[in-house]
Amino acid sequence: MSCVLAMGMHAEGTELELVRETNSKYSAWSLLRGAFSGQSHWTPAWRDATPKSAYDIIVVGGGGHGLATAYYLAKNHGITDIAVLERGWIGGGNTGRNTTVVRSNYLYPESARLYDFSLKLYEGLSQALNFNIMLSQRGMVTLAHSRHDLELMSRWANAMRMNGIVADLLTREQVRALAPALDMSSQARLPISGGFTQARGGTARHDAVAWGYARGASALGIDIVQNCEVQGFLRENGCIVGVDTSRGRIRSSRIGIAAAGHSSVLANLAGFRLPVTSYALQAMVSEPVKPILDTVVLSPATGAYVSQSDKGEIVIGAGLDLFASYAQRGSFSVMQNSIAGTLELFPSFSRLPLLRQWAGIVDVVYDSSPIIGPTPIRGLYINCGWGTGGFKAIPVGGWTFAHVLATGRNHELAEPFQLDRFVTGRLIDEAAGSGISH
Partner 1 sequence: MMQIACPWCGVRDEPEFICGGTAGIARPALDASDQRWGEYLFFRDNPKGIHHERWRHAYGCGQWFNVARNTMTHEIRVVYGMGQCVP
Binding-site ranges for partner 1 (CB under 8 A): 262, 264-265, 268, 273-278, 322-327, 331-333, 365-366, 422-425
CB of 363 to partner 1, least distance (A): 9
Q: Which residues pair with 381 in a beta bridge?
A: 256, 374
Q: Is 271 helix (H, G, I), strand (E, B) or coil?
A: coil
Are residues 22 and 44 in contact, defined by beta-carbon separation less than 8 angstroms?
yes
Which residues are within 8 A (CB) of 388 and not within 5 positions of it... i.e. 6 or more apart? 281, 320, 362, 364, 437, 438
Closer residue to partner 1 (CB): 2 or 333: 333
Q: Which residues pair with 136 in a beta bridge?
A: 203
Total count of residues recorded for the chain: 438
Closer residue to partner 1 (CB): 322 or 432: 322
Type of residue at 117: F
CB of 362 to partner 1, least distance (A): 12
CA angle 288/201/176 to nearest 5° reads 70
Closer residue to partner 1 (CB): 32 or 423: 423
CB of 354 to partner 1, least distance (A): 17
Closer residue to partner 1 (CB): 187 or 333: 333
Closer residue to partner 1 (CB): 100 or 375: 375
Are residues 417 and 373 in contact, defined by beta-carbon separation less than 8 angstroms?
yes
Distances (CA, A) of 34 to 38, 44, 153, 204, 291: 6, 15, 51, 27, 31
Are residues 286 and 276 in contact, defined by beta-carbon separation less than 8 angstroms?
no
CA angle 362/112/171 to nearest 5° reads 100
Rounded to whole angstroms, the Cα distance separating 405 from 282 reads: 32
CB of 83 to partner 1, least distance (A): 24
Closer residue to partner 1 (CB): 72 or 233: 233
| CA 215 from centre of chain | 17
CB of 422 to partner 1, least distance (A): 4
CB of 261 to partner 1, least distance (A): 9
CB of 116 to partner 1, least distance (A): 27
CB of 8 to partner 1, least distance (A): 43
| CA 277 from centre of chain | 18
Closer residue to partner 1 (CB): 5 or 322: 322
Q: State the Rg of the chain over Cα.
A: 22
Closer residue to partner 1 (CB): 51 or 360: 360
Type of residue at 173: E
Rounded to whole angstroms, the Cα distance separating 132 from 127 reads: 8
Type of residue at 321: D
CB of 226 to partner 1, least distance (A): 21
Are residues 171 and 153 in contact, defined by beta-carbon separation less than 8 angstroms?
no
CB of 256 to partner 1, least distance (A): 20
Closer residue to partner 1 (CB): 83 or 384: 384
Closer residue to partner 1 (CB): 100 or 245: 245
Q: Which residues pair with 363 in a beta bridge?
A: 278
Are residues 403 and 395 in contact, defined by beta-carbon separation less than 8 angstroms?
no
